[in-house]
Structure 1
């Protein structure tokens, strides 16, 4: 389900419930206990005052052997995709989290309204894109007309006049995911649109670049897990 606006909450964690991913960014700041994470195969640790950014599409798993409570922000604000995985100003982020936690428990409306923006501001400077500008809207429209084709990193890089390596780095910076993850998200979004209007699954698979209806069905199921 698409987020309407950034959602700030308090969550407790315990035993692992299995890995998953989502289409929005998730920001965690530890309040108590220790939360162990694995994000795209990389281990991370969130203790009191520690922060961690899980990027859209990254598969991740949580576990807190002795319990953990975190301030959690689920957001589709694009600026988060340009932030570092950990806060540049951790002391400020920790102080802010300790202020917001009791305010959220008391359901104070200003904490819910302004907390997400304050957290982004406290996290640290947003990286500025470097080099040749990429018109992501134009590139997405170009891709949408070619989803039935086997597009790769080199094809998209040539379209925006960059090397594959440069384009891969710029995609991670601007979109918060790899080129193939970005392409996969576009294919799945288009597949869902077509299925929603009753297009047969075989036609949807052909028009979105999947080798078979079963491959498309499996991809949609994994994305919804």
Structure 2
């Protein structure tokens, strides 16, 4: 059964003179609100303050301290789109900072605005700066995309994930998928997964092993899909 995607977590954090050190299995976005945070990521020093922000990659060990005290808006996220923001300053820092201040104010409320906080991770990613150029005419390498998807049946793949690999927006990818494959993206994924399952069964794999390899929640779910 696929492991559910980890939901983004946003918080306000105060850092002090006590030195910390750790690594995460997700992206960590730090946006300075007050004071200065000294941070060293994999041996490279940097500072985070009201004029500077940073994205830390999954697995990167980072040491941090703030001798004068520092407050940051922190987002912990597994969204792959943050990879394009690594080692790149925000393209529109004033916009990002204004959004961070609004979100910080929202988090301090007795009843935070649920809709604003739910949309916050996507808004922060958008505010960091434009993605690499994406055009509707960009060629999609469908063979490479098939290989990418077949290696990730254990993950809850979405249209956004496919679009990110194809370097298109979700809406552009959905239209291209309908135009070039004759299917919606999710229908294309289901068809691809079922075809992979049929290949494995033809090669002699058991129903249980085939279900495990192709991400079906149970052997019976696979059997039902094969009979449709």
TM-score bucket of the superposed structures, by smaller chain = 0.5 to 0.7
TM-superposed deviation, 1:137: 7.4
From 118, 123, 131, the counterpart of 1:126: 131
Matching residue of 1:90: 93
Change (3 A) 1:114 1:49: farther
Q: Report the Cα distance in structure 2 between the residues aligned to 1:140 and 1:21, rounded to whole angstroms.
A: 28
Change (3 A) 1:51 1:137: farther
Please state whether the residue corresponding to 2:90 is helix, strand or coil. Answer: coil
From 109, 116, 127, the counterpart of 2:114: 109
Q: Report the Cα distance in structure 2 between the residues aligned to 1:103 and 1:36, rounded to whole angstroms.
A: 26
Change (3 A) 1:136 1:12: farther
Q: Report the Cα distance in structure 1 between the residues aligned to 2:144 and 2:47, rounded to whole angstroms.
A: 36
Please state whether the residue corresponding to 2:76 is helix, strand or coil. Answer: strand
Contact 2:57 2:86 in 1 (8 A): no
Contact 2:24 2:60 in 1 (8 A): yes
Counting only pairs closer than 5 Å after superposition, residues 1-225 of structure 1 correspond to structure 2 as 4-14=6-16, 15-18=18-21, 20-85=22-87, 86-106=89-109, 107-127=112-132, 135=144, 138=147
Contact 1:51 1:93 in 2 (8 A): no
Contact 2:56 2:86 in 1 (8 A): no
Contact 1:13 1:67 in 2 (8 A): yes
Q: Structure 1: give runs of 5+ residues left out of the alignment.
A: 143-225
Change (3 A) 1:16 1:35: same
Q: Report the Cα distance in structure 2 between the residues aligned to 1:139 and 1:65, rounded to whole angstroms.
A: 45
Larger Rg belongs to:
2
Q: Report the Cα distance in structure 2 between the residues aligned to 1:110 and 1:35, rounded to whole angstroms.
A: 30
Q: Report the Cα distance in structure 2 between the residues aligned to 1:68 and 1:136, rounded to whole angstroms.
A: 43
Change (3 A) 1:136 1:54: farther
TM-superposed deviation, 1:131: 10
Give the alignment's TM-score, normalised by structure 2: 0.55
Q: Report the Cα distance in structure 1 between the residues aligned to 2:146 and 2:43, rounded to whole angstroms.
A: 31
What's the Cα RMSD here? 3.1
